Every structure is written in C-alpha cells, then in structure tokens.
Structure 1
Amino acid sequence: MTVVLMIVAAGIAALIALYQYGYISTSKSTRKKPWFALLRFLTVFSILLLFIAPRFDSKTYETLLPQLVVLVDDSKSIDYLKSGDAVKRDLALIVNDSDLNSKFEIQTFKFSETIAPLDSLSFQATETDLNIAISEPQELFKNRNKAVVVLTDGNQTTGSSYSYTQINEKTSLYPVIYGDTTQYADLKITNINVNRYSYLNNEFPVEVFVAYQGQEQESRIFKVTQGNRTLYSETLSFNEKERAAIVSFNLTSTAVGTQSMVASIEPLPNEKNTQNNYRSFAVEVIDQQTNVLILSDQVHPDIGALKKAIESNQQRKVTIKSTSEDYNLNEYNLVVMYGVSSAFAKAYAQISQLNKNTWVITGSDPDIDYLNGKYQSFNLEDSNDFDEAQPILNTSYTTFNLDQISFDDYPPVQVPFGELIFNTNVDVLFYKKIGTITTTQPIWFNYEDGDTKHAVTLASGLWRWRAQSYLDQQDFKNFDDLVSSQVQYLASNKKRNRLELSYEPFYYQNKSILINAQYLDKNYEFEDNGILNLNVTHTESKELITRPFVLSGNSYVVDLSGLKAGDYKFTVQVENDQLSRSGSFSILEYDIEKQQVSASDAGMKKLVGSSSVYYQGETEELIADLKKNPLLQTIERAIVKQTSLIDWEYLLGLILLLLGLEWFLRKYNGLV
C-alpha cells in the first residue's frame, strides 16, 4: 500500500511540475528550462512523502536463556532444624555452577511471609508462606520458560496451602527439603480459643486443641497455670487412632487487667520438641460493662445493624426501647437516639438533668424543627427532601483513630437535603458525595459541649454499610470497628486530651506490635509536625528502649515488633511540649516456627510427585536434572520493529533546500 501511495505521489508531483512550467500548457511563453520543473517535482514529491511517512519492517533475533529462579526459606525453622549451613552451601553450589550459568539466567530470592531479593540469609523470619514462594515467580516471569528451585524444610505456617498451587506449562518446580523428615512421637497444643475480654468475677470459656503424633498408647496431664497456681488440670489419653483432644472448661476472672496464663501438656518420654507443649494466652478483665440504650420509635434495619456492631465488643450490652416504654438513662453509659421527634421529650429532659453524652441518628423520617430546637451547636435547614449520598472519609479526622478503617465506594445512604450551619467547632467524620460531586456538608460529625460529648449522623441506611463491609472483606469488622470507636469515645466521660494513645493490652510475639498516638495542637486540631518518642521498659530486666513515632495518615505510629516476651511499661513524650502519656502491655511468648518437630515433604510430594522431590545432600542430582530438562532450552525470539524509511527532519531540510535553490535560480533568471 505504501509503494502505491508513493507512485501516486510521484505522479501528482510530476503533473504539478509539468503544468506549472508549461510542458502541458498551451502557452509557450511560460515554458522554461527543464531543471525548474525537476526542482518543483522534487519539492512537491518530498512534501507528499511527509504525509505518507513510508515505513518498513525490520526483523532482528535475540537469544533467550531459560530462567533459573532459586528461592530460599529464610525462616527460623531452618535454623531450629540445624540446616542453615547446608542451605547456604547448596545455594552456593547452584549459583556458582559454571554450566548452569551458561545455560540459565539465574535469579535468587529469599522468602518467609513475603518474597524479597536475596542479599543475605539470617533464618530469623517468624513465618513461612510456601504458597507465595511457588506462585509469585510463575506470575512474575509468566512469559518465560523457567525452573523454580525451592530450598525449604517444607513447613508452612501462614498463607494458603501450597500443595494445591497450580504449576503452569512454562514452569518446572524443583523442591529441595532440608532437615530430618523422620516422624517422631510428639504432643503439641495447636490452638486456643478464648474471649479477649471478661468481666470481673465472671466465668469465661476456654477451648484448647491438643494433637498427638505417634503409635503408642499415652496418657499425659494437661493443665493451665498462672504463675505458681494451677487453674485447671485434666488427664488426656492418646493412641494411634485417638490423635487429638479438645479440652473445654471455664475459668473465673478474679483480678482486673491483663491476666496471662499458660496451657501445657506433659511431654512424652524423650520427646524431641517440647517447645510446642506450651502456649500462652491472656484475657483482659474489666470491672464493668458498657450499657448502651438505643431509643427509637421506628422499626428499621439500621437499629439491628447498630446493635450487632456495638455488641461485637464483648464488654458492651445494648438495650432497645421505644419512647413510650419506661427507661432510666442513669442506668446507661450512652443513649443512641434514632429518628428524633417530639416523642423524645422525656429522654431530653433526663439527658439535660444527668448531663449525658448522646448520639443522634436522624433516620428515615426526622423532625428537623424539633432537632434544631434541642441543639444550639448546629442548625439544619428544614426540608422534606432527601439526597442519596455516599460517605467521603475526612482524612484529618482526630476524635478517634481511623487508620484501619476504609469506606471507599460504600453505597449511598439517605440524608436530609438542607444545609447544615455550625455554631461550635466540630470534627467531621464523613462528608457527602452526591453522584460525582464531593461536598463540604457532613453526614457524620462529633463535637463537645461543656462537659458532654455528642455525635450526629444525618443518615438512614447504615445497614448497607455493614453489608458492604461483609461483601468486601467477608466479615463485618470494618463497620463494627467504626461504630465501636464511636461508642468508646461517647461512653467515656473523660475529657479529650491533646495526646491520645491506642494500643492493645497484650500482643502475641509473632504478630505486629503497633502503638498509635494522636497529637493535637492547643486548638484541638491534628498536629502533623510533632516529634513523639516512646520509652518502653521491660518490667523484669529493666531494659530501656527508646523509639520515635512515625507520622502515618492522621496519627503517629511506632512498631515494637521483635521485642521479647514479657510485661512492659511505656511513656510517650512530645518534644517541646509538656505532654506525656503512660501505659503498659504484655507480649505473650509464641513462636510458630518452633511448633514443627521435623521437616515435612508431604505437601511437595502431593504437588510434584515423590520422584520429583529432592533432599538435603542431593544437590548434584538436582543440577544434573536441571541440565537435562528439555523444557529448559535456549530459544531464539524474533523482534519485528517498524522503521521509518525517511527521517522527517532531513526531509524537511531537503524541502527547504529545494525551495531555496528554485527561488535563487528563478531570481537569477529574472523570473522573480
């Protein structure tokens, strides 16, 4: 097609040149020397070539070596099985083999719960995810033929089961198992189910799962201890067929605060691994329950959603009443009023008398005039119209911590149409988004009035948000945490502090240990230029550790992961400000990498077959098989590129030169 266009362009250029210089004109007086026509032909043809932009395909070839992706297990279990030196030695043999280097493009990674480029090995990672070690290289190098060599003990402690991972046609998997795969007799505590909170002098249930690996009949004592006291004891029996036991019992909360306990099963004679015979757990004991009253004359799914969200915290109890029923607000820590109208006159009288905190939710049919008459801090324009509005989270919100809460693309709720005017400082949690327009009008806000605290939610349809939370994350935690944080703030009569801390009373050793802080200036607005430091002391050893907080969104956070088990006290201080807060927490000992008695090859055998699994000391056989694999051959790939036949810059210069030369010759011949 390009050649045809070039021929047509040449014809057009010739016709224009011949016509303009008289060769195809009836007039003889305009016929000039032939080079004028030639110059005009070349000029017009060059201009037309700029529009055609002729191109041609150029083909080159490149040689692609197959890839050899080596992944090394960097978790603690490798060290516990005393295989670290063997792993390093075999890794060196593979990556330094001259034949492999000439045959493959070698890439090395280490993995634990994540994958990272291999720079060094420490064997200190606290979890192992073999699924990502097998699946991610296939995705990362999906268009290349490759061998994936995994150096591991075969023990997985997190993630999806790797034995069901799909291996694509471009991948050859070579697992190498390190450590003793002999199955030794073993008893271990696999899981403990216990409520996180309990009330003082109440019983709380505990469920412990114990597993047995062995052939002999065994009877061992299971017990739960706290310090030197035995809280519960039972004899458990196991044999070749009875390999598991579930121990269920109740304990009594006798003291306020974090109560740490240890569940243990008596070891077997000559048991190789006794680390998994013990497991710590804890319960936070509180001395009272938060009672919440939801007061409403409407029957609406929002009320059920709020009740479930509030009671997702074991230390809270919700009572639902209508305004016509008898109630005494003095019996409740917080009153939630849904669908306020004149029927709430009795409630407002008690609220004023008792100086109670409130949470007002307008609901589907609010009485705006009555609501405005009861609150001087804001005024909502009275309108019978409603908008369908989505929530937009205010990232500068400071009343409570929102780091773990996300409400992106949540469904719209019904909100009053009128404009809201404030007569006091408020902290907006959500703004309205109507269609594609984000407004500065709030859906949900908090404010303080003297010694009381209040929340206002101008919406009906909150149940949709709880349902969306489940659709997004397969649980209600996102919505429930938001409601729980709001209730926690309102149920407390404590004045708001400029420095607030958010942390757990206890953490497990193998999990993230984060402490969040919110620092406000003297106007109670979030201060993002603060310098916060944490001084944490181990109660027993008196070891002092100082770490700085890092700004993260609308709060500050410090990561204490890696601290040893024990009890800690801490103080948070703000530099150049007379602010500090103190607290305490416990870290419970639990190392999941210590729970395995030996290496495991069962999963790899299921994935690739028994004959394709290699073991410690079989590196030479692995290297030989890598060299023989017919899939892993060098391939030649053609690369086709379209290249322009002309360079437009040079062609443009030629056009200018031709025009200039033609003008000069015409001038010289007196034609200009």
Structure 2
Amino acid sequence: MTIFWIILAAIVAALVALFQYGYIFSNKKNNKRKPWFALLRFLTVFTILILFLDLKFDKTTYQTIKPLLLLELDNSSSIVQLKADEELKADYNSLINHPSIKENFEVQEFLFSDVIKPLDSLKFAGVETNIFNAIEQPQKLFKDRNKAIIILTDGNQTSGNSYSYASIDAKSAVFPVIYGDTTNYPDLKITQLNVNRYSYLNNEFPVEIFTTYSGSDAITTQFKITSGNMTLHQEQIRFSKDNPSQIVNLNLTSKKVGTQSLKASLTPLTLEKNISNNNRNFAVEVIDQQTKVLILSNVLHPDIAALKKAIASNQQRDVSIQNTDDNPDLNDYNMVIFYSPDNAFAKAYNQAKQLNKNTWTITGPSTDYEFLNSQMTAYSIEVDEEVDEVQPILNTSYTTFNLEDYSYDDYPPVQVPFGAVKMNTAPDVLIYKSIGDVETQQPLWFTYEENETRHAVFLAEGFWRWRAQSYLDEKDFKNWDELVGSQIQYLASNKRRNRLELDYKTFYYQNQKIIINAQYLDKNYEFEDNGILNITLIHKKSNNRTVRPFILDGNSYTVDLSGLEAGDYKFTVKVENDQLSQSGALSILEFDVEKQFISAHDQGMKKLVGIDGVYYQGQIEDVITQLLNNPLLKPVERSSTSYASLVDWQYLLGFILLLLGLEWFLRKYSGLI
C-alpha cells in the first residue's frame, strides 16, 4: 500500500512540474533549460508529498551485556574472632584483580552484617550478621539480570531467617566461600538468659539460664552468678554427649535500690578455644515500691477490666477496684481513677482535693454530668442525654509523653456525651473526636495541671474495644497497654512538668540499639522544634568523654548511643542557647553475639547449594573456574529497535530548501523572474 502512495506522489509531482513549465496545455516555445526546471520542481513537490505520507524506518542495534557478579563480603566482627580477616581480604583482592573476571563480568561489591550496603571500607566491625538478607535482597534488586552471587563469610548468622532455607531464582547462581576453621572443638556456652527487667526491693526475682556443651566426653563444670566480687549462687553442672544442654532455674533477692549488675559464668574447659561465650552479663532495676492505683466505680463494665489489665501489665503497678460504699482511704494510693462518677462520688472527690491527689476521670454509662460540672473548675460538659459514636484522632503534637510508637488508625467507635466540652484552662489534648468522616477539635482524651496536681479526662464509654483491636492488629495488647501505662506514669507523680524531659532506660545490652529521647518545650510549654540539644557522656571508669547531638524525630529529639563501649556512664543533656539541662546515669552491659562462635559454620550453606557448591578460603581459583564455565553466566546479546519518521529528518528539510533555492536562482539567471 505504501508503494502505491509513493507512485501516486511521483505521478502528481510530475504532472505539477510539467504543467507549470508548459509541457501540458501550453503553446509556448520550449526553452532548452525547461527540462532542468521541471526536474527541480518535480523533486521539490515529490519530496513534500513524501513527507505527508509520514513514512517510518526502523533501525536495529545490538549490545553485548555481561552477566553481573555480585561480590558480598561479611563485615561482622566474628571474621576477626576466627582470625580469618587476612585470608578473606587476600581472596577478595585476587578475585577483583583477575583478568578473566574483569573481561567477562560486570562486578558490583557489597558489605553485609546486619544490613547490606555498597563496599566502602572493610573493617569487620559489624555487631550482627544476617546472611539470609545477603542472599535474598540482591536477587530482588537485580531480578531481571543473570548474575552470580559470591558470598565471602564464616557462615555464622546471628539475626534474621535461617539462610539455609533461602530461595535462589532461575537467574541467579550462589557461590559461598567459607572462612575460618570449621573444626568442632569442645565448647561450653550460655545460649540464653531470661530475667525480668524490674524487681522490687527485698523481693525475689527468677532467673533462667540455658547452657549447652559441644563435645564427646562427659564433663563437670561450675556455674556461678556474681555481683562484683560477691558470689550470689554457684552449683555444679554435668554435661555429656547424650546430655548436651542444661537449664538452670533459681531465685535471687534484690537488696539495693537501683540497677543491680550481675554476671552468669561457666568455668572454662582446659581445651576450650573460645571462653567469651561462657559468660553473660545481665542486670535488674530494683525499685523500692509499687505505684498503687485505685479504680473507683459503682458499675460493672468491660472498660474496668480492660483498664485494670492494661495498668497491671507493668509489674511496678498495683491496681485495686472499689466502690464508694467501701469508703476507701485515698491516701493509700498514688492516684485515683473515677469511672462513671455520679453524686455518690462527692466524698471521694473532696478527699482527693484535700490530699492533692492526681486523678483520672472516665465517663461511663451512669455518669451524672451536672454533678461532674459542679466538681470541676477546669472544664465543663454540656448536659445532653444523647450520645455520639466517635473514633480517635491521635494528636501527634501532644507533649506530655512520647506518642511515637502509638497507632490508632481505624479503631472502632466509642460512645461519648453529645454535648460540647468547654475548657476553662489550657489542656493538653491527647485524642480528638472524629464523627464519621468529620475530624473535630473537640477533645476526647486530655490532660491538664491544676495547682500542684495533675489530671486526665477520658470522655468515652466502650474503650475496651480498643484494647481488643490492639490485639487483632498486633497479636498483643502492647499498643493500648503502653498508652495507658504512659498516662498512669504521668499521673502517678506530682512532679511538675519540666521544659526538658528525658526518656531512657537505666541499663542496655551492648548489642541493642541505645536510644535516648528528649522532650524540649518552650516557655509556654509547647513543643519546640528548633532546639539544639547535645549529650555529654563520661565513662565512670576511664573518664573518657563522648559528645553527641540529638536529632529531631517527629515530636521529640533522639540520640543513638549504639556502639559505645560497655561500662557505667553518667551524662548531661544541655540545650544550646537555653539554660536547661538534665543529668542521669546508665549502664551498658557487655554482650557481643559475634564472639559466641568458636568455628566457622558450613552446614547451612551445604543445605542451601549442596555439598559440592561450598568453597573454602584459598579456593578462589576454583570459584573463578566455575564462574567462567557456568552456562547461566555467559554474555547476552540484546537487540533494540528504534523507529524514525521522515518528518524528523532535518536533512530532508534542508534538501527541500536547496531545491527551491536552486530553482529560484536558475530562473533568475535565465530571466524567467
């Protein structure tokens, strides 16, 4: 069809040229130059008509694509522990400098420990090893390319899924190279230690220790728990090839308030190669009393059970439920929760005011709002018998305590009084009401301070559904219980709010993330997001000083202290250009999971790729041979076709202009113009 249009364009162009120069329907005398003029006009018209046909031409180019070689180096400290770092470096250099590798592969290099990142410097400083990610993630990242994944590792994994069950896709070939001695030596190890983080003064707290033995001979060793130079417990433990594990259960007594640092240890064997895994440091924070909370209610309701369970989820709290007829002495409690108050609560409210007790008022099915308004000066609620069903909107700017980890999206509705809330003081609103799709500025849950006391108000019935929803979402009650716990912690103390508040634990394990959060408020007690905060830590034993800045993270400031050496620290947090500071102390307990290994581990890789697919240090030449002979890892020739239209040809436009210009010049020269 295209040929037909081209022929037709040629005929039309010829007719136009012959007609314009008098060859058709003309009696004029022919000029000997007319044929040339006609030819020029024919070429011009024909070229223009061809442009209207929008002819396209394809062009195919070919490109040779080399297979990928993803080189992944284990950067964890266990490589040094097994004295295999120099061998790994030597094999790495041999691999990347091999001429056949340079010629036949596109090489990309990575480090991995707990995460994978491009190779910059090899320091063997990783505190955890996740080999599963080192196998899976590159396959996902380069899923459309044929590739070889060479993993230089000791095979010891401390986090993540078992890599022996990782998947290998059809476009990938995995070549593990194991470093370190794979010989099994006799070894004693404390594999796990379970202990509660908190204990009460003069109370017993349980400790559970899991110990293992690898060896063929029957042995007896001594197990100890010490605190400083004092031995708190010791006993003999027997192991054998048929009985390689023992569980030690015991109770210790907390005798001093504060952080009690302890150490569990197994006496090493004579031939034991690694004794660092014979010890495990742990700690318990000893507190001198529980927070006693009273829930005062004259009705039975699922909300009360949900509230009690949330509060009691922390062993530092003791919860009692009573009614007004019991005439409880509020002086025996740190704080009081009034659930569904009515006229019968008058005496309790008066006693709470006299004792300057912190309170939490929660409305319920029998709340008398006229009575409640008569007791409160900070707020009032419009009296209306109707109720609304509302959902929560978390106020991310709430500053009384940290809300960073809380989430309440799509929580079921609760019933609230229909009347509006009028505030007579400046509240700190934790949750606003959402009615249907309308987000309001009416408070559902708020706190405020009055004289020397703190108070919370929760205007809802049916919040037990939120605790249930927390379990449906997370498979535990943590989300809801921690929010209630934060509210109890705020109300259990009469300490005035400081403009600089710190949130931290008194002790951390060395392999954990060590995070300190800070709340910095301006003089109006509103969150200040322009502060410059720094923490100065001093190691109590060595007096080494460390200074690190806080970074803004949502509605708080955080600093990551991970990587500090183990020991006891005192610290001070200061706000630059403001006369604010807070001091404290914390302990970092020594625990390096990478030091728990006495040999390299090749069994996982054998399960993954087969016995013949695992290589060892010094066998890089064998790996290179397999790379070059693997049919999957051959260069691929890829074709790409591009299409171009005549309209896009600038040279054709220039040709048309040249024809028109030449025709005009010749006509002018011949006196035809």
Q: Kindly state the Cα deviation for residue 237 of structure 1 after the two structures are TM-superposed.
A: 0.2
The answer to which of 352-361 and 375-384 deviates more is 375-384
Task: Give CA-to-partner distance per residue, 1:416-453, whole Å, 9 cap, x none.
Answer: 34332211111111223334433222222111011110
Q: Work out whether 1:540 is the aligned partner of 2:541.
A: yes
TM-score (norm 1): 0.87
Q: Kindly state the Cα deviation for residue 122 of structure 1 after the two structures are TM-superposed.
A: 0.5
User: What secondary structure is seen at the aligned counterpart in 1 of 2:591?
Assistant: coil
Q: Which residue pairs with 1:419 in the alignment?
A: 420
Separation of aligned partners in 1, 2:485 and 2:451:
23
The answer to which of 270-279 and 457-466 deviates more is 457-466
Task: Give CA-to-partner distance per residue, 1:617-658, whole Å, 9 cap, x none.
Answer: 111101110111111122233445666664599999xxxxxx
Separation of aligned partners in 2, 1:136 and 1:371:
59
Q: Given residue 564 of structure 1, which amino acid in structure 2 is its aligned partner?
A: E
Q: 1:144 to 1:343 in 2, by over 3 A?
A: farther
Q: Given residue 263 of structure 2, which amino acid in structure 1 is its aligned partner?
A: V
Separation of aligned partners in 1, 2:94 and 2:227:
50
Q: 1:504 to 1:91 in 2, by over 3 A?
A: same
Q: 1:647 to 1:432 in 2, by over 3 A?
A: farther
Contact 1:397 1:427 in 2 (8 A): yes
Q: Given residue 608 of structure 1, which amino acid in structure 2 is its aligned partner?
A: V
User: What secondary structure is seen at the aligned counterpart in 1 of 2:633?
Assistant: coil
Task: Give CA-to-partner distance per residue, 1:9-57, whole Å, 9 cap, x none.
Answer: x9xxxxxxxxxxxxxxxxxxxxxxxxxxx9xx99x999999xxx99787
Separation of aligned partners in 1, 2:401 and 2:134:
39
Identity of aligned residues (%): 59
Q: Work out whether 1:391 is the aligned partner of 2:392.
A: yes
Query: For residues 430-509 of structure 1, what are the structure 2 equivalents within 5 Å?
Result: 430-509=431-510
Contact 1:364 1:459 in 2 (8 A): no
Q: Given residue 481 of structure 1, which amino acid in structure 2 is its aligned partner?
A: E
Q: Given residue 176 of structure 2, which amino acid in structure 1 is its aligned partner?
A: P
User: What secondary structure is seen at the aligned counterpart in 2 of 1:631?
Assistant: helix
Task: Give CA-to-partner distance per residue, 1:465-500, whole Å, 9 cap, x none.
Answer: 333333443333222221111110100111111111
Q: Kindly state the Cα deviation for residue 574 of structure 1 after the two structures are TM-superposed.
A: 2.0
Separation of aligned partners in 2, 1:651 and 1:392:
66
Q: Which residue pairs with 1:516 in the alignment?
A: 517
Task: Give CA-to-partner distance per residue, 1:578-601, whole Å, 9 cap, x none.
Answer: 222111111111110001111111
Separation of aligned partners in 2, 1:558 and 1:110:
25
Q: Given residue 483 of structure 1, which amino acid in structure 2 is its aligned partner?
A: V
Q: Work out whether 1:282 is the aligned partner of 2:283.
A: yes
Q: 1:386 to 1:63 in 2, by over 3 A?
A: farther
Q: Given residue 205 of structure 2, which amino acid in structure 1 is its aligned partner?
A: F
Q: Kindly state the Cα deviation for residue 507 of structure 1 after the two structures are TM-superposed.
A: 0.5
Q: Work out whether 1:630 is the aligned partner of 2:631.
A: yes
Separation of aligned partners in 2, 1:296 and 1:162:
55
Q: Work out whether 1:551 is the aligned partner of 2:562.
A: no
User: What secondary structure is seen at the aligned counterpart in 2 of 1:180?
Assistant: coil
Q: Which residue pairs with 2:257 in the alignment?
A: 256
Q: 1:626 to 1:563 in 2, by over 3 A?
A: same
Q: 1:327 to 1:633 in 2, by over 3 A?
A: same
Q: Work out whether 1:400 is the aligned partner of 2:388.
A: no
Q: Kindly state the Cα deviation for residue 141 of structure 1 after the two structures are TM-superposed.
A: 0.9
Structure 1 or 2, whichever has the larger Rg, is 2
Q: Given residue 106 of structure 1, which amino acid in structure 2 is its aligned partner?
A: V
Query: For residues 219-368 of structure 1, what are the structure 2 equivalents within 5 Å?
Result: 219-363=220-364, 366-368=367-369
Contact 1:145 1:171 in 2 (8 A): yes
User: What secondary structure is seen at the aligned counterpart in 2 of 1:123?
Assistant: coil
Two-structure CA RMSD over aligned residues (Å): 3.5
Q: Kindly state the Cα deviation for residue 576 of structure 1 after the two structures are TM-superposed.
A: 2.6
Separation of aligned partners in 2, 1:427 and 1:54:
72
Q: Which residue pairs with 2:590 in the alignment?
A: 589
Q: Which residue pairs with 1:562 in the alignment?
A: 563
Q: Given residue 337 of structure 1, which amino acid in structure 2 is its aligned partner?
A: F
Q: Given residue 569 of structure 1, which amino acid in structure 2 is its aligned partner?
A: K
Contact 2:646 2:652 in 1 (8 A): no
Q: 1:134 to 1:366 in 2, by over 3 A?
A: farther
Query: For residues 77-96 of structure 1, what are the structure 2 equivalents within 5 Å?
Result: 77-96=78-97
User: What secondary structure is seen at the aligned counterpart in 1 of 2:383?
Assistant: coil
Tell me how many residue pairs correspond in the alignment.
Answer: 633
Q: Kindly state the Cα deviation for residue 257 of structure 1 after the two structures are TM-superposed.
A: 0.2
Separation of aligned partners in 2, 1:373 and 1:425:
19
Q: Which residue pairs with 1:603 in the alignment?
A: 604
Contact 1:195 1:205 in 2 (8 A): yes
Separation of aligned partners in 2, 1:627 and 1:300:
73
Unmatched tracts of structure 2, length 5 or more: 10-41, 654-673
User: What secondary structure is seen at the aligned counterpart in 1 of 2:534?
Assistant: strand
Q: Which residue pairs with 1:35 in the alignment?
A: none
Q: 1:322 to 1:636 in 2, by over 3 A?
A: farther
Q: Kindly state the Cα deviation for residue 359 of structure 1 after the two structures are TM-superposed.
A: 1.3
The answer to which of 506-515 and 366-375 deviates more is 366-375
Separation of aligned partners in 2, 1:452 and 1:261:
39
Q: Kindly state the Cα deviation for residue 364 of structure 1 after the two structures are TM-superposed.
A: 5.1
Separation of aligned partners in 2, 1:358 and 1:647:
80
Task: Give CA-to-partner distance per residue, 1:110-131, whole Å, 9 cap, x none.
Answer: 0111110011110011111111
User: What secondary structure is seen at the aligned counterpart in 2 of 1:68?
Assistant: strand
The answer to which of 424-433 and 103-112 deviates more is 424-433
Contact 1:46 1:651 in 2 (8 A): no
Separation of aligned partners in 1, 2:313 and 2:108:
48
User: What secondary structure is seen at the aligned counterpart in 2 of 1:267?
Assistant: coil
